[in-house]
């Protein structure tokens, strides 16, 4: 599974990119607004740090407007994936942008039927929002299973499932078990995946035993 991070905070992105675990970034108007900075400037900085796809969302709601904004965003950097909503006009814009060679992330997906249409429109990614479905007492992961089953039935479908609206590490694990290609998560969720109390306990025991030996491993390059 590929990990994308769902943020526009450049410092968080740099920190996560240093691990080698970061495969891409997803942003939206709300996340960029939180930075208080210029939209295009933020995108350029992110694209310079991350080699993988960086989703940048249009704000127009009509197909012509989405296409115009999408073309502008695609010029920011080679790794921009234009993000369009899963509406009729969004599908039209997706098709046109993909025919021009631009990556497209079709977002706000809440049904398997929508995901099928996005794939037919040529979407690079489709983003089902599992957390928001859970919020209204629906099963977000059931949607991921349905999309995976449908896509597997048709080998010509190249659209990748990008699991979004992730609320906790369990969402990530379940998505990986189902076989979703990508999971986009807030920085804190990605960091929670590395945490386990037994890891902390084991490390403390190892260090205590080592300290008792009064030895030290030389650090290369240290004074």
Listed residue (5, 112, 12) closest to 52, CA to CA: 5
Q: Give the integer Cα–Cα distance in Å for 31 and 8.
A: 6
Average pLDDT of the segment spanning 9-37:
92
- Which one of 34, 83, 177, 211 is the catalytic residue? 83
pLDDT of amino acid 223? 53
What are the pLDDT digits (tens) for 127-179?
Answer: 999 999 999 999 999 999 999 999 999 999 999 999 999 999 999 999 999 99
The answer, yes or no, to whether residue 222 has pLDDT greater than 60, is no
The answer, yes or no, to whether residue 71 has pLDDT greater than 70, is yes
Q: Give the integer Cα–Cα distance in Å for 107 and 131.
A: 14
According to DSSP H, which parts of 23-127 are helical? 29-35, 39-49, 63-74, 88-99, 112-120
Tokens of 148: 């995976």
What are the pLDDT digits (tens) for 81-102?
Answer: 999 999 999 999 999 999 999 9
Q: Domain-by-domain residue ranges, the chain?
A: 2-196
Average pLDDT of the segment spanning 75-83:
97
**191 part of the active site:** no
pLDDT of amino acid 30? 87
Assess contact for 127 and 144: CB atoms under 8 A.
no
Lowest mean pLDDT across 10-19, 64-73, 82-91, 92-101: 10-19
Range 2-196 has CATH code 3.20.20.100: no
Q: For the chain, report the end-to-end CA distance as a whole number of angstroms.
A: 41
The mean pLDDT value of the chain amounts to 95
The answer, yes or no, to whether residue 221 has pLDDT greater than 80, is no
Name the DSSP letter for residue 164.
B
Query: 132: number of CA atoms within 13 Å, CB side?
Result: 11
């Amino acid at each position: 599974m590929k990990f994308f991070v769902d943020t526009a905070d450049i410092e968080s992105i740099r920190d996560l990119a240093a691990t080698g675990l970061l495969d891409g970034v997803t942003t939206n108007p709300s996340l960029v607004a939180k930075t208080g900075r210029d939209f295009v400037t933020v995108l350029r900085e992110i694209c310079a740090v991350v080699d993988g796809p960086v989703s940048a969302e249009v704000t127009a709601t009509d197909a012509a407007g989405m296409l115009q904004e999408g073309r502008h965003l695609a010029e920011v950097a080679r790794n921009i994936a234009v993000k369009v909503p899963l509406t009729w006009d969004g599908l039209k814009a997706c098709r046109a942008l993909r025919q021009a060679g631009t990556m497209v992330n079709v977002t706000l997906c809440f049904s398997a039927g929508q995901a099928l249409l996005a794939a037919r429109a040529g979407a690079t990614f489709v983003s089902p929002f599992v957390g928001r479905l859970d919020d209204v007492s629906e099963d977000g992961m059931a949607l991921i299973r349905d999309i995976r089953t449908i896509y597997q039935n048709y080998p010509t479908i190249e659209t990748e499932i990008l699991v979004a609206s992730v609320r906790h590490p369990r969402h990530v694990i379940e998505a990986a078990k189902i076989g979703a290609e990508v999971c986009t998560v807030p920085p804190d969720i990605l960091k929670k995946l590395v945490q386990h109390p037994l890891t902390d306990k084991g490390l403390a025991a190892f260090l205590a035993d080592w300290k008792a030996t009064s030895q030290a491993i030389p650090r290369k390059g240290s004074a």
